[in-house]
């Protein structure tokens, strides 16, 4: 008899224990689901740069399905020909503007060659606009000079020796459409603070080591055309003068400008990027020290550090085994 009672008591204890265990598992499952949706919502907000507060600039709306290619070039006509030949075949390109700061006007041979490329890729009702934006002064500020009557809101700023597959640029453009107020591109850089309290500039290896970045270089990046006007008109003239004098840091200045207007980080898109020319000013001695000096000088002008660091990298999972 006692054995039967003891057995029933044991069974009830086991049932109660199993019930409590099920309740705990159910509670953990609910908490897990809640955390998952909370994380996804927060991650989406962070990636797309959506933030509910008043900005110095109105939020952008994208009115065109394509983008303008803004090509900065300097006495590398063969590279320019190769670049235009490649990008004219990209379906998202509405127009190509060539930033021309050389003392002589574009030659008839160069103009005719580039126009033949445009004609070759203008078909099925698609017509690409090609224009040389000629500048009297040789200044790095020319690459962000305000341009009138642009066909699209999206600007893809690039150097003449950068080649990126069309499908990769189109993917980055789609990313930018979701966050048109920030900079979206392929070449990340980072700032940090040293022991003395001064800001430093970190190149690719610093980004790779830390997994963090706060700038996207405009040698291969999307941004909204409104920032050309802000850079030319609203940005402190002392910054443009500094860039003209030191022949460096116009890309950092644009990163400061956009971050100051949005309080959001840029977006790094993973993609294949080929540099078909010889190395530019980044290969010169003292380049990193000059960049460090720029950052600290710009911070003094702004009165704060506007750059926002992030660890987010956008990957097109359709073409990646690991993402």
Distances (CA, A) of 61 to 22, 73, 98, 168: 50, 30, 25, 22
- Using alpha carbons only, how large is the chain's radius of gyration in Å? 26
**CA-CA distance, 233 to 85, in Å (whole number)?**
33
Q: Is the dihedral of CA 138, 143, 144, 146 positive or negative?
A: positive
3-state secondary structure of 139: coil
Note whether 246 and 290 are within 8 A (CB). Answer: yes
The label of the residue with tokens 């006509």 reads 77
User: Is 251 tagged catalytic?
Assistant: yes
Strand partners, 269: 314
Residue in 194, 251, 263, 316 annotated catalytic: 251
**Strands 93-100 and 67-73, sheet pairing:** parallel
Torsion sign (Cα): 293, 295, 296, 300? positive
Residues identified as active-site: 251
């Amino acid at each position: 008899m006692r054995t039967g009672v003891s057995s029933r008591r044991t069974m009830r204890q086991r049932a109660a224990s199993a019930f409590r265990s099920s309740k705990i598992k159910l509670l953990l499952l609910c908490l897990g689901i809640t955390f998952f949706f909370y994380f996804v919502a927060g991650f989406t907000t962070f990636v797309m740069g959506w933030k509910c507060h008043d900005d110095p600039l109105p939020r952008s709306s994208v009115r065109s399905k394509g983008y303008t290619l803004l090509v900065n070039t300097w006495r590398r006509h063969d590279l320019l020909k190769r670049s235009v030949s490649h990008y004219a075949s990209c379906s998202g390109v509405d127009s190509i503007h060539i930033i021309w700061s050389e003392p002589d006007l574009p030659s008839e041979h160069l103009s005719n060659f580039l126009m033949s490329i445009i004609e070759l890729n203008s078909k099925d009702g698609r017509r690409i606009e090609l224009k040389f934006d000629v500048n009297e002064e040789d200044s790095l500020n020319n690459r962000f000079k305000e341009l009138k009557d642009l066909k699209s809101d999206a600007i893809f700023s690039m150097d003449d020796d950068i080649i990126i597959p069309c499908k990769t640029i189109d993917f980055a453009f789609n990313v930018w459409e979701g966050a048109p107020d920030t900079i979206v591109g392929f070449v990340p850089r980072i700032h940090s603070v040293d022991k003395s309290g001064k800001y430093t500039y970190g190149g690719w290896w610093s980004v790779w080591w830390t997994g963090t970045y706060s700038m996207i270089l405009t040698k291969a990046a999307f941004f909204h055309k409104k920032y050309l006007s802000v850079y030319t008109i609203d940005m402190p003239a002392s910054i443009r003068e500094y860039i003209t004098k030191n022949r460096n840091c116009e890309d950092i200045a644009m990163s400061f400008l956009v971050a100051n207007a949005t309080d959001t980080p840029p977006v790094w898109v993973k993609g294949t990027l080929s540099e078909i020319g010889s190395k530019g000013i980044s290969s010169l001695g003292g380049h990193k020290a000059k960049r460090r000096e720029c950052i600290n000088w710009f911070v003094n002008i702004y009165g704060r550090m506007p750059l926002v660091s992030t660890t987010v990298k956008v990957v097109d999972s359709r073409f990646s085994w690991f993402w």
